[in-house]
Amino acid sequence: MKKNTIVTLADMKARGEKISQLTCYDYSTARLMDQAGINMILVGDSLGMTMQGYSDTIPVTMEEMIVYGRSVVRGCENTFVVVDMPFMSYQASVEQAVVNAGRLMKETGCDAVKLEGGREVCDQIRAITAAGIPVCAHVGMTPQSHHAFGGFKVQGKGEEGAARVLADAMAVQAAGAFAVVLECVPPKLAALITRKLDIITIGIGAGAACDGQVLVWQDMLAMGPFTPKFVKHFAQVGQIMTDAFQAYDAEVKDASFPAAAQTYAKSDCSDEILERLEGRQSAELLKLYSL
């Protein structure tokens, strides 16, 4: 298998080959995704919800993105890793955006960063890409702005709404983004945007016509507390884990775990050794064995 890069991903679009992306936040899961041939991983700020239990992504910090991001990067050989810029790490100024994108790349080893927004973040996209850091944009329903939207709602409805999302997607391409996530937009609008743009579109709740798809990994494995409409469960891993935890609990409690197969029986102490040790105080042992 070959390392995925912005060039190989663009070539996939040109050949009409679909691109797979999942979110990921840890080394062990990243290794499995890399071995499975997933093209891209997003270390999404959704980790605020999936890993930390917050109700949205707003509290996530740069330091947290760096810890999770570098764990994922260590698990990937070929998968292209994108790390999300958390809320207020790029909105306040272009300079802050460049400094924080640079920190994410330098301190995690990721391949690209992602930020949310359209026309309003184009200055940031231009400056970050000028610094040599590939940028994935994110338009439509942008979770960091859910307060401004009045909830996590489908965007791009009606002619004006559709024009707004299209204008945003075209603007981020013109600013230098190599890819754009289209989240919760009507499927025919996502198809139009995908046809019009040269850069990769990655859909989530945006229909099958996008160049690629992304899902939150706990969602696609049925581990989340709820299931958004656009999620498909590819395996009932949540149930498998619960069953395994219950089996472990039961075996610990009835002492059937650990069994002989899980113990170091071959190196066990002889009865003579045990006899000599039994009943000795700690100080005595230290003295007797010059410990």
The residues assigned a catalytic role are 183
CB of 226 to ligand KIV, least distance (A): 14
Residues of span 120-159 touching ligand KIV by CB under 6 A: 138
DSSP label at residue 23: E
Which of 19, 38, 40, 42 contacts ligand KIV by CB under 6 A? 42
Binding of residue 45 to ligand KIV (CB under 6 A): yes
Round to whole Å and give the CA distance between 65 and 43: 8
Binding of residue 214 to ligand KIV (CB under 6 A): yes
Which of 66, 162, 216, 220 contacts ligand KIV by CB under 6 A? 216
Considering only 42-50, 69-77, 233-241, 261-269, which stretch makes contact with ligand KIV by CB under 6 A?
Answer: 42-50
CB of 214 to ligand KIV, least distance (A): 5
Pair 186, 14: CB distance under 8 Å:
no
Residues of span 218-277 touching ligand KIV by CB under 6 A: none
Largest CA distance in the chain: 87
Considering only 44-52, 88-96, 235-243, 268-276, which stretch makes contact with ligand KIV by CB under 6 A?
Answer: 44-52
Residues of span 86-125 touching ligand KIV by CB under 6 A: none
Round to whole Å and give the CA distance between 43 and 84: 6
Task: Report which residue's Cβ sits closest to ligand KIV.
Answer: 44
Pair 80, 41: CB distance under 8 Å:
yes
Both tokens of residue 248? 């472990």
The DSSP annotation for 159-221 comes to HHHHHHHHHHHHHHHHHT-SEEEEES--HHHHHHHHHH-SSEEEEESS-TTSSEEEE-HHHHT
List C-alpha distances in Å: 128 to 69, 158, 162: 18, 33, 27
Binding of residue 181 to ligand KIV (CB under 6 A): yes
Binding of residue 211 to ligand KIV (CB under 6 A): no
Residues at the site binding ligand KIV, with contacts judged by CB under 6 A = 23, 42, 44-46, 84, 138, 181, 183, 204, 214, 216
